[in-house]
């Protein structure tokens, strides 16, 4: 099958783009706003992209709190979703009006290297 990503004409039920690269890590991106409000958001597009110096990046579909917070503070952390946390990630990925930290029983840990 030929798949051209710009036109996205594949005839499948879901866009296959996320399934093309695998395995890809899935986890949480944690940020703090300039006003001190914590945010934890699930992301499937984050990865290590450099070694010297160490670089980690994530990508967002649209303008989300995580992006705004990083632009304001220049900081974020990433936490890998392991097999034992798969159900928590699934719940956290669902659309909801609740705060991200309350989804899936995920709680922010103590801060070590960021504000």
Q: pLDDT tens for residues 57-114?
A: 998 888 888 999 999 999 999 888 888 888 888 887 775 555 555 556 666 666 666 6
Give dist(CA 44, CA 18) in Å, integer: 8
pTM over 0.85: no
Q: For the CA atoms of the chain, what is the radius of gyration? A: 16
Q: How far is CA 1 from the centre of its chain?
A: 29
Q: What pLDDT was estimated at residue 8?
A: 78
Q: Where are the beta strands (DSSP E) in the chain?
A: 27-32, 38-43, 46-50, 55-58, 77-80
Domain ranges of the chain: 25-103
Of 16-20, 37-41, 105-109, which one has max mean pLDDT? 37-41
32-57 mean pLDDT: 87
Q: pLDDT tens for residues 2-16?
A: 777 778 788 888 888
Provide the pairing of β-strand 77-80 with 38-43: unpaired
Q: What pLDDT was estimated at residue 90?
A: 81
Longest Cα separation, the chain:
49
Distances from the Cα of 73 to the Cαs of 31, 35, 67, in angstroms?
9, 10, 10
Give dist(CA 30, CA 10) in Å, integer: 34
Give dist(CA 94, CA 15) in Å, integer: 18
The domain made up of 25-103 is a member of CATH 2.30.110.10 = yes
Question: How many other CB atoms sit within 10 Å of the CB of residue 29?
Answer: 25
């Amino acid at each position: 099958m030929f798949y051209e990503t710009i036109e996205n004409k594949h005839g499948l039920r879901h866009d296959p783009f996320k399934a093309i690269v695998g395995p890809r890590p899935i986890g949480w991106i944690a940020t703090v706003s300039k006003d001190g409000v914590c945010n934890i958001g699930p992301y499937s597009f984050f990865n290590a992209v450099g070694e010297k110096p160490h670089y980690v990046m994530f990508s967002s579909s649209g303008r989300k709190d995580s992006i705004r917070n990083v632009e304001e503070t220049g900081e974020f952390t990433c936490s890998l979703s392991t097999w034992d946390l798969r159900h928590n990630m699934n719940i956290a990925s669902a659309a909801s009006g609740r705060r991200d930290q309350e989804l899936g029983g995920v709680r922010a840990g103590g801060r070590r290297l960021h504000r």
